[in-house]
A = this chain, B = another copy of it.
Amino acid sequence: MTEFRFESWASDGNARRGRLHTAHGTIETPAFMPVGTAATVKAMRPESVAETGAEILLANTYHLMLRPGPERVERLGGLHKMMNWPKPILTDSGGYQVMSLASLRKLEEEGVTFRSHLDGSEHKLTPERSIGIQHALDSTITMCLDECTPFPATHEAAEISMALSMRWAERCRSAFVKRPGYGLFGIVQGSVYPDLRQTSCEALQKIGFDGYAIGGLAVGEGQQMMFDTLDITVPHLPADRPRYLMGVGKPADLVGGVKRGVDMFDCVLPTRSGRTAQAFTRRGTVNLRNARHQDDPRPLDIDCTCPACRDYSRAYLHHLIRAEEILGLMLLTWHNLHYYQELMAGLRRSIETGTLEQFEQDFARQQSDGDIASLTGAAMAEEETE
22 contacts between A and B (CB under 8 A): A40-B323, A40-B325, A40-B327, A42-B327, A43-B326, A44-B327, A63-B323, A67-B322, A68-B294, A68-B315, A68-B319, A68-B322, A72-B294, A75-B297, A76-B316, A77-B297, A82-B315, A84-B312, A326-B326, A326-B329, A326-B330, A330-B330
How distant is the Cα of A294 from the Cα of B316 in the complex, in angstroms?
Answer: 38
A39 within 8 A of B: yes
Also in contact, A40 and B84, with CB within 8 A (given A45-B307, A297-B76, A313-B76): no
A101 within 8 A of B: no
A108 within 8 A of B: no
Interface residues of A in 204-251 (CB under 8 A from B): none
Interface pairs A-B: 8 shortest CB-CB: A43-B326, A84-B311, A40-B327, A68-B319, A38-B323, A40-B325, A82-B316, A76-B315
Interface residues of A in 228-279 (CB under 8 A from B): none
Indicate if the CB atoms of B316 and A83 lie closer than 8 Å.
Answer: yes
In the complex, which residue of chain B has the Cβ closest to the Cβ of A82?
Answer: B316
A295 within 8 A of B: yes
Across the interface, which residues of B come within 8 angstroms of A75, CB to CB?
A: 295, 297
Indicate if the CB atoms of A325 and B42 lie closer than 8 Å.
Answer: yes
How distant is the Cα of A75 from the Cα of B323 in the complex, in angstroms?
Answer: 19
Indicate if the CB atoms of A42 and B326 lie closer than 8 Å.
Answer: yes
**Interchain CB contact (< 8 A) of A323 among B67, B84, B297, B311:** B67
Expressed in whole angstroms, the minimum distance between the Cβ of A321 and any Cβ of chain B is 11
